[in-house]
């Protein structure tokens, strides 16, 4: 199965700053079948990005995804207070679908 490694484990930033989160796959992710989710404490995950770069419905344009092959990035252009959360990547190009271990974006 494809192993996804997210880095860094924790990102400490201030509101207004830019956040860059990495997701690296152990094998190439076919057709850029990669998604990103946001999870806040006590809440279910929320889909942000699918197909590596397509924003889900209702997701603000400060969230963007990029990458292909084995290297993918989620960028939050300017952090809002509500963006401090844990972010997960998921590959769905190979079975079984797998998730990264998560990156926590915390307030500095």
Partner 1 sequence: EVQLVESGGGLVQPGRSLRLSCAASGFTFDDYAMHWVRQAPGKGLEWVSGISWNSGSIGYADSVKGRFTISRDNAKNSLYLQMNSLRAEDTALYYCAKGPAAIVIGSWFDPWGQGTLVTVSS
By CB under 8 A, name the one of 25, 35, 74, 105 that touches partner 1: 35
| Angle at CA of residue 52, ends 101 and 79, nearest 5° | 70
- Residue 50 binding partner 1, by CB under 8 A: yes
Task: From 31, 43, 105, select the one nearest 74 (Cα to Cα).
Answer: 105
By CB under 8 A, name the one of 47, 53, 70, 104 that touches partner 1: 47
For partner 1, the closer CB: 67 or 100? 100
CB of residue 12 to partner 1, shortest distance in Å: 20
- Residue 25 binding partner 1, by CB under 8 A: no
- Residue 93 binding partner 1, by CB under 8 A: yes
3-state helix, strand, coil in the chain (%, to 5): 5, 50, 45
């Amino acid at each position: 199965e494809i192993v996804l490694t997210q880095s860094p484990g924790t990102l400490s930033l201030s509101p207004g700053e830019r956040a860059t989160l990495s997701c690296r796959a152990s094998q190439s992710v076919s057709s850029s079948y990669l998604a990103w989710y946001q999870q806040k404490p006590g809440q279910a995950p929320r889909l942000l990005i699918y197909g590596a770069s397509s924003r889900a419905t209702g997701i603000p344009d400060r969230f963007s995804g990029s990458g292909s092959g084995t290297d993918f990035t989620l960028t939050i252009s300017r952090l809002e207070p509500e963006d401090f959360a844990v972010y997960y990547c998921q590959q769905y190009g190979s079975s079984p679908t797998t998730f990264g271990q998560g990156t926590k974006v915390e307030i500095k």
